[in-house]
Structure 1
Amino acid sequence: MVPLLGITAATVATAEPASPAAACPDRMIFEVGGNGDPKADVYNGSNERLPAGVAFTKVEYSASIAPLPGNPISMDDSVAEGIGNLDRAVRDFHGACGGAQITISGYSQGAIVAGDVLNALSADTVIPHGQVNGVLYGDPRRPSDNGPGGIEGNIPTIIPGLSMKGERGFGDIAVHEICNKNDTICFSENPITNLLGFANGVVGYLSGDHRYVIDPHAHMGNGDTVHDQPPRVPHGPPLPLPIGTPWEIFNGNLGAAQDSVTQIRNQVANALSPELRDRLAELPFLSVPSA
């Protein structure tokens, strides 16, 4: 199964700076993996290519999303664990190496963790904002400044423990969001105004478009990069109607949210092949509990 969002159990410093400031790296990259990747192994290849003066710290957490099979920990608890581990690791490193640059990177569920910490740091002055940047891949909370945003600002909360928290920003901290156009996790069309566009993202996710070339040192910068892709489900632009996303309309009303997502799931299923229809449970955001 393609990884979705991530969590781990402890903070592991793969490259630990020595105590003297002279031994500190010029830049430390903090890395958070996605669902099923508690040790951020998705970063292994890029870590082997880091230049001198750049080190990395893998931040471990549970990387789990109940109700997915084999995931005993809810996404909310997993994300909270990751945020605590990452925030502590970043602040401890800055305390030891106050002049070093800090890059915070996350993939999928790890992008929720990394992005939420970057959001908190943008409202904090403990670490100068010019010393911090972020690189996020397949972020479910990606802002909708460049077309549709992430799924957490589109689909409402339908399962306790799988909270859809909406979009968030980063103030004056430079953050590079990287997203594939066929990936419903970060590029999620409003299913009310563009059902086939939303279905395209679901098919893309199930077909591997949630995979990314992970290399935060090469992808630093600021702003939003959406990789254009040929659609997997033919669709046009959204209807030009001033209708909010289901998240905007129903989030906070669990019963109405579940009814809305049930309708969306049934409509999307009609646009899928039988094989992909059987895999819809891999998207817990559409896994409406049985009545």
Structure 2
Amino acid sequence: MRKAITVIAVVLVLVLIGAGAYSWLSSSDRSPIPESQRDDLPGLEEITEPDWCPDVEIVSTGGTWESWPTDDPFNPTFNPNSFMLSITGPLQAAYDINDVRVWTTPYTAQFKNINSQGEMSYDESRAEGTARVTGELRHIHQTCPSTDFILMGFSQGAVITGDVADQIGGGQGVIPAEKVRGVALIADGRREPGVGVNPGVEVDGIGAEISLQPVSGLIQFVVPGATMTGERPNGFGALADRTYQICAPEDSVCDAPYDIGNGIDRAMGLVEATGIHAQYASNPDVIPGTTTTQWAIDWAHGLINQ
């Protein structure tokens, strides 16, 4: 008899609990938890970033023979004479790494041609560099969503950086366009007049990859595995007003003539891009009143401190 009474009591209690729960869940008077009280509830706290997340990350990509895939991105030593180091070195010295993180792309910066058959092809090198840049951007954006970026590159590195910026500006990139404060492309082989911002002198030509695209098959005889890709599809899109194109007059990489001319000779000129192409750090005829190096340093400071 006692067991029966106990069972009945338990059933009644469960019925009352169920009825109360149903009444609470179905009540039209129930209001959401006020914002002021949500912070006190476990599991609703904001996700915090790691302490090392910087305000800005500079992603710098050097040109041909200026980088190596195992190089330290924070202390690159493969080529101490890399042009981009003349820019990133002073920037790195000016800021704490927890405020401004300077990251140099480690990739096989090579350009296989008839004089260097054992090197990685331009297409392969470019793909590797692009993967390294996008991988870093994706990693930092996912880990440190408040971090903004400054992108810069020289020569082969400018092509890589410009391609990444074109994807971001066109809405197909690994980070949103609003996370990019600025892009600097120095001696870009896909440079188009009127696309992006030119802070220096006007040059008459176009990027070699645009100029030589009609004879891309012929170029393979001199530069195997180097596809001349032509114009970028998006014109930098949302980043067009903050992407800077810097080109020295008569630099065969970014100031090539519109007419195809002798494709073989032009390809050799691309391979042997020395002289003017190697003088951006000191050439006073690229940006009036300053050098490319100093302009880029001042430009980056302005973006960092905006």
TM-score interval, smaller chain: 0.5 to 0.7
TM-score of the pair, normalised by structure 2: 0.57
Instruction: Please tell me whether Structure 1 or Structure 2 has the larger radius of gyration of its CA atoms.
Output: 2
Where in structure 1 are there 5+ consecutive unaligned residues? 1-18, 222-291
Q: Secondary structure at the match of 2:247?
A: strand
Contact 1:134–1:220 at 8 Å: present in 2 too? no
Contact 2:123–2:226 at 8 Å: present in 1 too? yes
Which is richer in helix? 2
Q: Secondary structure at the match of 1:23?
A: coil
Contact 2:166–2:236 at 8 Å: present in 1 too? yes
Determine if the alignment matches structure 1 residue 23 to structure 2 residue 64.
no
In structure 2, C-alpha distance between the alignment counterparts of 1:141 and 1:192, rounded to whole Å: 15
Q: 1:85 aligns with which of 115, 128, 132?
A: 132
**Which residue matches 2:108?**
62
Determine if the alignment matches structure 1 residue 95 to structure 2 residue 124.
no
Contact 1:135–1:176 at 8 Å: present in 2 too? yes
Deviation digits for residues 17-69 of structure 1 (CA, Å, limit 9, x no counterpart): xx944432221111111111115652333333223332211111111111142
> Structure 1's 69 and 125: CA in aligned 2 closer, same or farther, altered over 3 A?
closer
In structure 1, C-alpha distance between the alignment counterparts of 2:152 and 2:59, rounded to whole Å: 6
TM-score of the pair, normalised by structure 1: 0.60
Where in structure 2 are there 5+ consecutive unaligned residues? 1-47, 195-201, 282-292, 302-306
Contact 1:31–1:57 at 8 Å: present in 2 too? yes
Contact 1:59–1:82 at 8 Å: present in 2 too? yes
**Which residue matches 1:183?**
251
Q: 2:62 aligns with which of 16, 26, 33?
A: 33
Q: Secondary structure at the match of 1:85?
A: helix
Contact 2:168–2:176 at 8 Å: present in 1 too? no
In structure 2, C-alpha distance between the alignment counterparts of 1:126 and 1:150, rounded to whole Å: 25
> Structure 1's 44 and 209: CA in aligned 2 closer, same or farther, altered over 3 A?
closer
Q: 2:187 aligns with which of 138, 163, 173?
A: 138
User: Percent identity over the alignment?
Assistant: 27
**Which residue matches 1:226?**
none
Number of equivalences: 199
**One-letter identity of the residue aligned with 1:139:** D
1:127-166 counterparts in 2 under 5 A? 127-132=175-180, 133-145=182-194, 147-155=204-212, 156-157=215-216, 158-159=219-220, 160-166=224-230
Deviation digits for residues 242-291 of structure 1 (CA, Å, limit 9, x no counterpart): xxxxxxxxxxxxxxxxxxxxxxxxxxxxxxxxxxxxxxxxxxxxxxxxxx
Q: 2:90 aligns with which of 42, 49, 55?
A: 49
1:1-291 counterparts in 2 under 5 A? 20-38=49-67, 39=71, 41=80, 42=82, 43-50=84-91, 51-52=94-95, 53-67=99-113, 68-69=115-116, 71-122=118-169, 123-124=171-172, 127-132=175-180, 133-145=182-194, 147-155=204-212, 156-157=215-216, 158-159=219-220, 160-168=224-232, 169-173=235-239, 174-191=242-259, 205-213=273-281, 214=293, 216-220=296-300
Q: Secondary structure at the match of 2:231?
A: coil
